[in-house]
């Protein structure tokens, strides 16, 4: 690092994204929870030559058309939503705006929360999940800063019922709780329905997973008008033109194709559940995922790292988290039915090979 770097940032370890191999056509990429299906045909139609020709103009800093459609879809007021360049940018805005007293989040969850805490120099607290990877909301009692929960959580895939979210919100009305719902469309009920009763709630979502727009970089926040106004203050102080014109059009088109969205989510969930049953039948422990991935481990003859490596040797890229509580587990994104049949068949071959793991 250079001698000019801010001293506070010298100890920051940046977030490590999942591997993004380029030009390896034979590799089945199931490591970053992308949707296996393409965007809605309406998205492709919206990104036409005429719109591309308008890229010489700035995008709408208010994201007005997109946010109007998003608000209608979510059943909230227009002033209750904000758009971000992916949900990661929304998280950055929220940590900057609301975590002055620190941030608390599970010890096993999306790694970007810890990176943001360190980046902003916040007094963070990693709250241990229970032995079965579940969140116990009572463990957050008394923490004065912002509480951040991914629901469903990653990499466990487990969903926390809304009743538990309400308990968390009720612990301290003066403390903001951010619920990151990147995977909510694959299982569970959104906490957006709680907003009329809890002004200390902020819900964050993304178009990367269920809307098949990971490459477009589009996320959003839903909260009270006052909380969203605060986020907009941060946004306009950092990046007022944060969403490009084509992404805004893609987001609107994706929202308007409800049938395609619902079918994709249902198909992913069905293939996920089939995969989980198949892996359990092969001796793995698999969590009850409400997401677009499965979390498998605990096999008596195969360590997590060995399974990850064996899959890669057979052209399947999954994700392994090398930490004490997750080192025996592998996260596998849900692909198409044919792709997940390949995963299961490959796993059978790995196990039958009789290697020493």
Residue 269 has pLDDT above 80, yes or no: yes
Q: What is the predicted pLDDT for the residue at 357? A: 41
Q: What is the predicted pLDDT for the residue at 243? A: 98
Q: What is the pLDDT of residues 177-213, one digit of tens each?
A: 999 999 999 999 999 999 999 999 999 999 999 999 9
Band of pLDDT at residue 341, cut at 50, 70 and 90: very high
pLDDT: which is higher, 301 or 7:
301
Q: What is the predicted pLDDT for the residue at 356? A: 45
Residue 18 has pLDDT above 80, yes or no: no
Band of pLDDT at residue 24, cut at 50, 70 and 90: low
Of all residues in the chain, what percent carry a pLDDT higher than 70? 98
Average the pLDDT over 39-54 and give the result.
Answer: 95
DSSP state of 13: -
Average the pLDDT over 100-106 and give the result.
Answer: 97
Q: What is the predicted pLDDT for the residue at 26? A: 76
Band of pLDDT at residue 354, cut at 50, 70 and 90: low
Q: What is the predicted pLDDT for the residue at 11? A: 82
Residue 82 has pLDDT above 90, yes or no: yes
Average the pLDDT over 3-32 and give the result.
Answer: 82
Average the pLDDT over 221-244 and give the result.
Answer: 98
Walk me through the domains of the chain, giving residue ranges and CATH numbers.
7-38+259-351 (3.90.1150.10), 41-257 (3.40.640.10)
For the chain, give the mean pLDDT. 95
Residue 23 has pLDDT above 90, yes or no: no
Residue 239 has pLDDT above 50, yes or no: yes
Q: What is the predicted pLDDT for the residue at 100? A: 96
Q: What is the predicted pLDDT for the residue at 19? A: 76
Q: What is the predicted pLDDT for the residue at 17? A: 80
């Amino acid at each position: 690092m250079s001698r000019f770097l801010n001293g506070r940032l010298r100890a920051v370890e940046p977030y490590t994204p999942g591997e993004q191999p380029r030009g390896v056509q034979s590799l089945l990429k199931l490591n970053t929870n992308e949707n296996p299906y393409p965007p809605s045909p309406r998205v492709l139609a919206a990104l036409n030559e005429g719109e591309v020709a308008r890229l010489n103009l700035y995008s709408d800093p208010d994201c007005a058309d997109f946010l109007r459609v998003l608000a209608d879809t979510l059943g909230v007021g227009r002033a209750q939503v904000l758009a971000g360049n992916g949900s990661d940018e929304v998280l950055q805005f929220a940590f900057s705006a609301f975590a002055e007293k620190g941030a608390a989040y599970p010890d096993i969850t999306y790694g970007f929360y810890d990176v943001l805490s360190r980046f902003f120099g916040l007094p963070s607290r990693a709250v241990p999940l229970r032995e079965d990877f579940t969140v116990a909301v009572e463990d957050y009692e008394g923490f004065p800063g912002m509480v951040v929960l991914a629901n469903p959580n990653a990499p466990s895939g487990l969903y926390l019922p809304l009743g538990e979210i309400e308990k968390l919100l009720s612990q301290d009305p003066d403390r903001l709780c951010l619920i990151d719902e990147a995977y909510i469309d694959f299982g569970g009920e959104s906490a957006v329905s709680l907003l009329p009763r809890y002004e200390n709630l902020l819900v964050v979502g993304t178009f990367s997973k269920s809307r098949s727009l990971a490459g477009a970089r589009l996320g959003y926040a839903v909260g009270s008008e006052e909380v969203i106004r605060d986020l907009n203050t941060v946004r306009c102080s950092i990046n007022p033109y944060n969403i490009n014109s084509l992404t805004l059009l893609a987001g609107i088109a994706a929202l308007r194709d409800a049938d395609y969205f619902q079918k994709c989510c249902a198909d992913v969930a069905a293939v996920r559940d089939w995969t989980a049953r198949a892996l359990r039948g092969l001796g793995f422990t698999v969590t009850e995922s409400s997401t677009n991935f499965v979390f498998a481990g605990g096999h008596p003859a195969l360590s997590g790292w060995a399974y990850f490596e064996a899959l890669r040797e057979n052209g399947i890229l999954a994700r392994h988290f090398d930490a004490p509580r997750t080192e025996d587990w592998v996260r596998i994104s849900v692909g198409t039915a044919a792709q997940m049949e390949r995963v299961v068949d490959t796993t059978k071959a790995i196990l039958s090979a009789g290697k020493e793991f």
